Amino acid sequence: MRRSLWARALRRVIPPAFRRVDADTLEELEERLITADFGVQASMRFVETVEKEARAGGMSDEAGLRQVLEGAIRDVFNGDGETELAVAAAPPTVYLVVGVNGVGKTTTIGKLAHRLARQGRSVIVAAADTFRAGAVEQLERWAERTGADFVRGQPGGDPASVAWDAIAAAQARGTDVVLIDTAGRLHTHGGLMEQLAKVDRVVRRRLEGAPHETLLVLDATVGQNGLVQAREFSRFVTVTGIVLAKMDSTARGGIVVALREELGIPVRMVGVGERPRDLERFDPDDFVQGVLAAGE
């Protein structure tokens, strides 16, 4: 995601007319970080770091504050390494995509299929949401639009069977990637979450090492509620990465820090618009620079 977009997706985090670090400045900085969805845990730690540096005499102006904040935020992403999606040693690579209703999951899968096709990779899209005909039709249109093959099940059928069939088809056709869409479900609905866990188990039985990524799609505009969703989905499947949809519609992009700080789950991709190509790899460096640009 480009730095200018991150700057627009974040509220101003450095207090205006900053002159010195005092109790009022620290309180305002913490409030601004929390408002921008950095999360209470990370926001308090950043403020403590700023206060410690100020007391040690290592910061006396806004440039110093920026430097300290930059280092503190970068530390959150240390060890993330490459943020591109995992690729299996031998095809097919399987991505299981999960999320609550209305987060933009189906659109995200379509954008991901488009991105993979542009990289020259063949794709099968599996509609494991067997309950909403509209969702299946929308996904099929995305498959046609991106040139991906499409696998669907019987209405009301077993979602795990669709996932099984899609992987079998990919193996038979030599397809590079399988994208498995799952029904949107509230994280509070125990029965549907157990069903999701079954899909995961079937995928693991069907192909060793799969799913190679389990991607949780979150609506960036819901802020800290995204943390609640991520915690609950992680109880039933091993979430390996986050895709933040609708990032272009929020001014609280600090959620990427809260997710990494509190749950240890990296953000892999961000949705930045409505076009097929508007799905970008998350770049921690661009994020950090965007945070600081937002304070200018």
pLDDT digits (tens, 9 = 90+) for 163-187: 999 999 999 999 999 999 998 777 5
Q: Is the pLDDT score of 148 beyond 90?
A: yes
Q: Higher model confidence: residue 254 or residue 42?
A: 42
* Separation CA 277–CA 98 (nearest Å): 21
Of the listed ranges 46-50, 88-92, 140-144, 272-276, the one predicted with least confidence: 272-276
pLDDT of residue 5: 56
Check pLDDT > 90 for residue 285. no
Listed in sequence order, the residues at least 6 apart from 220 whose beta carbon sits closer than 8 Å to its beta carbon are 9, 226, 244, 245, 246, 247, 249, 250, 252, 253, 255, 270, 271
What's the CA gap between 255 and 268, in Å, rounded? 13
pLDDT confidence bin for 55, thresholds 50/70/90: confident
Whole-number pLDDT of residue 70:
84
Per this entry, what is the length of the chain?
296
On whether the 93-282 domain is CATH 3.40.50.2300, my answer is no
Q: In this predicted structure, what is the pLDDT of residue 230?
A: 92
Q: Is the pLDDT higher at 274 or at 269?
A: 269
Query: C-alpha dihedral over 287, 17, 53, 67, to 10 degrees?
Result: 30
- Asked whether the predicted pLDDT for residue 296 surpasses 60, the reply is no
Say if residue 58's pLDDT is above 70.
Answer: no
Tens-digit pLDDT profile for residues 77-114: 876 655 678 999 999 999 999 999 888 889 999 999 99
Amino acid 294: pLDDT: 52
pLDDT given at position 64: 84
Determine contact, residues 243/111, Cβ cutoff 8 Å.
no
Residue 244 pLDDT > 60: yes
Domains of the chain, by residue range, sit at: 3-76, 93-282
Which tops the pLDDT comparison, 176 or 226?
Answer: 176
Give the residue-averaged pLDDT of 253-268.
Answer: 86
DSSP conformation letters of 243-266: EEETGGG-SBTTHHHHIIIII-PP
Task: Using DSSP, state whether 97 is helix, strand or coil.
Answer: strand
User: Whole-model pTM?
Assistant: 0.88
What single-letter DSSP state applies at residue 86? P
For the structural domain made of 3-76, what CATH number should be given?
1.20.120
Tell me how far CA of residue 133 lies from CA of 124, 156, 158, 241, in angstroms. Answer: 19, 9, 14, 27
- What is the Cα–Cα distance from 72 to 289, expressed in whole angstroms? 13
Which pair of structure tokens corresponds to residue 120? 């020259």
Q: How far apart, in whole angstroms, are the C-alpha atoms of residue 140 and residue 135?
A: 9
pLDDT of residue 252: 62
